[in-house]
Amino acid sequence: MDAQEYQVLNYMFTFPTLNQAKAHSKYLSQVIGIKRTHAQEIVAFIHKQNTWAELVMLCKDLGGTLLSDNSHFPTLYCSQETIARFDSVISKYRKAIDDIIAVSPKVHDSLLTRISNKDYHRISGSIVGSLLDEIEGYESYRSSTAENVLFCLNFWDDSVFKAIYNRNTKCNNPTLSPEFLPQHFYAYYNFKGKSVDISCREWDLNLERPSKLKRSSNAVDERSFQESICTRKWFKPYMIGYLKMICQHFRMAGFSGNIRIHKILNYSANNHKTGIRDDYYHDEIAGLFDALIKLGGRYVREKGAGGELLDIDCLEISFFADGTNQWMIGESTI
């Protein structure tokens, strides 16, 4: 890759147009199942604005303009030239991608499916940039193969397909961090046939309220962060909606299973059960645990690597591929 091409990679991201921001809030509202106004505020927070009105004004001023290297805005969108370039590069491997989709469990939001359908607007700019960097890097050394490219696509996938694709791997613990749905879901996945056992060690938000104190490892700062995010009206519906989406994707792929949750925003299920209010406690996080229990969750002992029960409780929720679990179909709401 020459210096000119490297410059293109550095300046390929754009600030969203108003239409892109509106489409983002609509998408978030539909897939998570929250009010459009709530989705709009989340999208505003993603782009470092305090309100949707502020974001609308900024989109009118900056929409479509290129972001500089030191921009503090997220890299969700690419220029049209970059998208065309990506389409040209990935088209060489489209048959291999379609072949994998044909023989794999169906996850409609997988990165492979989005590429196959040319839904590039639903692939974050940072993923597009990383894929271009890696694939063109392979090609510059004449080492590009369909196998290498599929490995890259699996590595950068931000859907549950990443866990399903690696279901025969001994240590299957991808982090799901979809940038259009700013979540952080770190878990271990243990597959047995059409059953999956999921142990979620960390469930978090990749989101900050711009006007409030930023996050850090300091517990006092963490409480300030919680006050700014957890008190928003959309907090519980948004978190539950994302968990439902994960379960639905597994169900639609033909899997039944359990999700055991250890921590939500650093507050542990074990402490919630025993009533301990540590530095990470917040009424709204406790309320989220309570809401999950009302929706069918239950406290169970965590299992060790050998299947033995450990001296720690977590919150477990079951889902079934046959759709018999009412909560997963969406009849129950907060």
Pairwise pLDDT comparison (117 vs 214), residue with the higher score: 117
CA 268, CA 276: separation in Å to the nearest integer?
Answer: 9
Check residue 108 and give its pLDDT.
Answer: 84
Q: What is the largest CA-CA distance in the chain?
A: 59
Cβ contact 301:310 at 8 Å: yes
The reported pTM is 0.88
Q: Look up residue 164 and give its two tokens.
A: 């399903």
Q: What are phi and psi of 330, to 5 degrees?
A: 105, 5
Is the pLDDT at 219 greater than 90, yes or no? no
CA 125, CA 16: separation in Å to the nearest integer?
Answer: 11
Is the pLDDT at 287 greater than 70, yes or no? yes
Is the pLDDT at 264 greater than 80, yes or no? yes
CA 53, CA 164: separation in Å to the nearest integer?
Answer: 40
pLDDT band at 181 (very low <50, low <70, confident <90, very high): very high
What confidence tens digit (pLDDT) does each residue in 169-179 have? 989 999 999 99
Looking at residues 222-241, what average pLDDT do you find? 82
CA 86, CA 131: separation in Å to the nearest integer?
Answer: 8
Check residue 128 and give its pLDDT.
Answer: 95
Least confident range of 12-16, 79-83, 219-223, 327-331: 327-331
Q: Look up residue 100 and give its two tokens.
A: 């994998």
